[in-house]
């Protein structure tokens, strides 16, 4: 029987690319340092690479779902052109639970829920316990934990999100500065 695959699950905004709140324009896509180099190494080590991104700007009416798809496709193309292949991109276009109006039901996919990771695990035959979730916010870390993965927090600029403000909510397994550091954690 074929062994299950291992995966690196990646948040998008603030993790692979610079964090721009409600990014909605292709021109705002800017790769963070070492994202390409890290993803190339994930693939060399045999990992499936999956992006899982919350995009509540859709539910909030800031941009439409087609915009998310276009931005995701553009990012994939940019990475591909540099030899960093992404296997799949999952996104949640829904509203955060605490922003729902009375009577509205929360979705099943928004991080910290693990559904996007579970869907990918199903599709790509991924062993979640031998996989890793990488992100820059508590929702990412908790989604990874909820899926049974190891977790890595990307420590980004303090003005965008300071994890030290909310350490109790996270307890990531590792804290690093970029995706190349993440690659160094993998065997």
Nearest-CB residue for Mg ion: 14
13 in active site: yes
Q: Judged by CB, which is closer to Mg ion: 4, or 96?
A: 96
SS3 of 107-159:
CCCCCCCCHHHHHHHHHHCECHHHCEEEECCHHHHHHHHHHCCEEEEECCCCC
Q: How many residues bind Zn ion (CB under 5 A)?
A: 5
Alpha-carbon distance values, 175 to 21, 35, 89, 151, 152 (Å): 22, 16, 23, 9, 6
11, 87, 136, 178: the catalytic one is: 11
CA 63 from chain centre, in angstroms, equals 20
Q: Could you tell me which stretch among 90-98, 111-119, 131-139, 168-176 binds Mg ion (CB under 5 A)?
A: 131-139
Question: Which of 7, 106, 92, 104 shows the shortest CA–CA distance to 48?
Answer: 7
Q: Judged by CB, which is closer to Mg ion: 44, or 166?
A: 166
Binding mask 2-41 for Mg ion (x = CB under 5 A): ---------x-xx---------------------------
Q: Judged by CB, which is closer to Mg ion: 23, or 40?
A: 23
CB of 116 to Zn ion, least distance (A): 8
């Amino acid at each position: 029987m074929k062994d299950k695959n291992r995966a690196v699950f990646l948040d998008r905004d603030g993790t692979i690319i610079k964090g721009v709140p409600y990014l909605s324009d292709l021109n705002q896509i800017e790769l963070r340092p070492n994202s390409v180099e890290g993803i190339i190494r994930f693939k060399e080590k045999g990992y499936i690479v999956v992006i899982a991104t919350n995009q509540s700007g859709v539910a909030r009416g800031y941009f439409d779902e087609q915009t998310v798809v276009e931005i995701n496709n553009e990012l994939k193309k940019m990475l591909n052109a540099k030899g960093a292949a992404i296997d799949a991109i999952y996104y949640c276009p829904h509203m955060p639970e605490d922003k729902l109006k009375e009577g509205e039901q929360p979705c099943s996919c928004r991080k910290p829920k693990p559904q996007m990771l579970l869907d990918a695990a199903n599709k790509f035959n991924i062993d979640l316990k031998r996989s890793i979730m990488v992100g820059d916010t508590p929702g990412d870390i908790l989604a990874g934990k909820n899926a049974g993965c190891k977790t890595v927090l990307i420590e980004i600029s303090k003005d965008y999100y300071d994890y030290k403000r909310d350490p109790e909510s996270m307890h990531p397994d590792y804290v690093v500065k970029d995706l190349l550091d993440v690659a160094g954690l993998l065997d």
